[in-house]
């Protein structure tokens, strides 16, 4: 009886099962990933940053959007986006009200943009920047999932090899 060969075959079998299960899970989750919903993170102007107390206590009226925030297209900004998350219902309501729109991307992800505040030029600039940054978003997703796929089979292999090494130490010469 060859214990080493048996353990190796068991490792291959379990690794294949693991990859099939993880692949099925990834297929299920892929629908969520491809339907990610994102928003643009506004960039404040450094010289005009009203405090919340100023606005809410009426000491200062809310200035127009482009007096508070920088224009992404005019200033060729490097823009950032964030997942909508718990704000989704609010953004969906803005879309219903006509103050926001959803830009669908070829990978089925969505970008929510304010039509009431952003100019058409800024909206186009942001949509292009969002699409150009897709590989960065995919990589951030892969940072978590690739180790989840690879590390357990490697750990199992090392554990089996260690058990085999210990067992071979008990053999009589």
Q: Which residues contact 129 (CB under 8 A, 6 or more apart)?
A: 72, 79
User: Token pair for residue 147?
Assistant: 């180790």
Whether residue 122 sits in one domain with residue 163: no
Higher pLDDT: 63 or 159? It is 159
Domain limits at 94?
37-131
Residue-wise pLDDT tens digits, 70-109: 889 888 988 999 888 788 888 888 999 999 999 999 888 8
pLDDT of the residue at 52: 63
pLDDT of the residue at 156: 92
Whether residue 73 sits in one domain with residue 116: yes
Whether residue 29 sits in one domain with residue 99: no
pTM assigned to the model: 0.70
Q: Which of 5-14, 42-51, 106-115, 128-137 has the lowest mean pLDDT?
A: 42-51
For the chain, the first-to-last Cα distance in angstroms comes to 17
Whether residue 91 sits in one domain with residue 75: yes
Which parts of the chain are beta strand (E)?
37-40, 81-83, 100-104, 110-114
108: phi > 0 → left, psi -120 to 50 → alpha, else beta; which? left
Whether residue 111 sits in one domain with residue 44: yes
Report how many domains make up the chain: 2
Q: Give the rounded percent of residues in the chain with a pLDDT score beyond 90.
A: 25
Q: In angstroms, rounded to a whole number, what is the distance separating the alpha carbons of residues 161 and 157?
A: 6
DSSP, collapsed to helix, strand or coil, labels residue 38 as strand
Q: In angstroms, rounded to a whole number, what is the distance separating the alpha carbons of residues 79 and 68?
A: 16
Whether residue 88 sits in one domain with residue 166: no
Residue-wise pLDDT tens digits, 12-51: 999 999 989 887 887 777 656 667 889 998 888 777 666 6
pLDDT of the residue at 33: 60
* Strand arrangement, sheet containing 100-104: 81-83, 37-40, 110-114, 100-104
Whether residue 72 sits in one domain with residue 49: yes
Whether residue 99 sits in one domain with residue 56: yes
């Amino acid at each position: 009886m060859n214990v080493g060969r048996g353990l190796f075959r068991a490792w291959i079998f379990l690794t294949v099962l693991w990859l099939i299960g993880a692949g099925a899970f990834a297929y299920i989750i892929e629908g969520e990933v491809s339907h990610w919903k994102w928003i643009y993170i506004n960039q404040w102007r450094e010289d005009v940053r009203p405090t919340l107390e100023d606005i809410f206590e009426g000491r200062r009226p809310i200035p127009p959007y482009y007096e508070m925030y920088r224009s992404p297209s005019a200033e060729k900004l490097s823009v950032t986006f964030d997942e909508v998350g718990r704000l989704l219902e609010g953004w969906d309501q803005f879309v219903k009200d006509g103050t926001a729109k959803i830009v669908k991307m070829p990978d089925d992800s969505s970008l929510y943009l304010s039509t009431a505040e952003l100019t058409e030029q800024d909206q186009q600039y942001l949509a292009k920047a969002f699409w150009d940054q897709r590989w960065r978003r995919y990589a951030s997703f892969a940072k978590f999932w690739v180790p989840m796929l690879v590390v357990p089979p490697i750990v199992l292999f090392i554990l089996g090899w260690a058990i085999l090494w210990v067992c071979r130490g008990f053999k009589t010469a």
